[in-house]
Amino acid sequence: MALVFYARVSSKGQNLDRQLARAKEVKADKVFTDKLSGKNTNRPGLEQMFDYIREGDIVEVISLDRLSRNYDDIQHLVQRLKDKKVKLVVDDLPQTNTGNELVDQFMLDMMVNLMGFVAQNEREKIHERQRQGISEAKRKGVYKGRPKKYSSESKNIEGRLVYEKVFKAINTGNYKSKAQLAREVGLSRQQLYRIIKSINDQASVS
């Protein structure tokens, strides 16, 4: 039997320190991590964990939203654990030890259902507040939209360098084809076309 710990944060800019400290505290045999959004289950660390676990293992997370923030996905993941006969331990949920396995599972299922609903409800409220904020900003004429990765003013160094390469190629005509240019700078054609459009838009305004 192995104690497997799963840790997740939403982006590469966030750190896993608190969760990894907990994994060390409980002496986890194996730790799997992701630095990706919990809006879906398309995460390499999560799938590696499911490939690793076996019947009788325990999977521990600090909170249910580390598995997912989507109610249906939570239900699906919990069922996958059940199908593998793997126990789920959620640190911020009370653990029941009545001695009756069916009762304990029933209580856990109820708490998972409730907390899964709460997690998704909170996520939807956040999105609604964001939509309201964007609408108000647009009404006031101060909405700038999401920062562009590929622009001359991008805070992303790689994105800024790619933009500069495309800008130079487009303005000098020093490229064989747009498909070749996209491959050269590591972009899809759609991404390249969006950069070219922004270059052309900027030129027409200047």
Contact 62, 22 (CB under 8 A): yes
User: Among residues 128, 46, 37, 40, which one has the least CA distance to residue 81?
Assistant: 46
Task: Give the closest residue to 165 by CA, choosing from 150, 146, 145.
Answer: 150
Q: How far apart are CA 63 and CA 129, in angstroms?
A: 23
φ, ψ dihedrals at 126, nearest 5°: -60, -45
10 is catalytic: yes
Residue with tokens 């027409």: 204
Distance, in Å, from the CA atom of 206 to the CA atom of 204, rounded to the nearest integer, reads 6
30's enclosing H/E stretch is strand 30-35
Q: DSSP secondary-structure letter at 66?
A: G
The DSSP bridge partners found for residue 120 are: none
Of the candidates 10, 37, 63, 154, the residue annotated as catalytic is: 10
The greatest distance separating any two alpha carbons of the chain, rounded to the nearest whole angstrom, comes to: 76
Q: Tell me the C-alpha distance between 160 and 57, whole Å.
A: 46
Active-site annotation, residues: 10
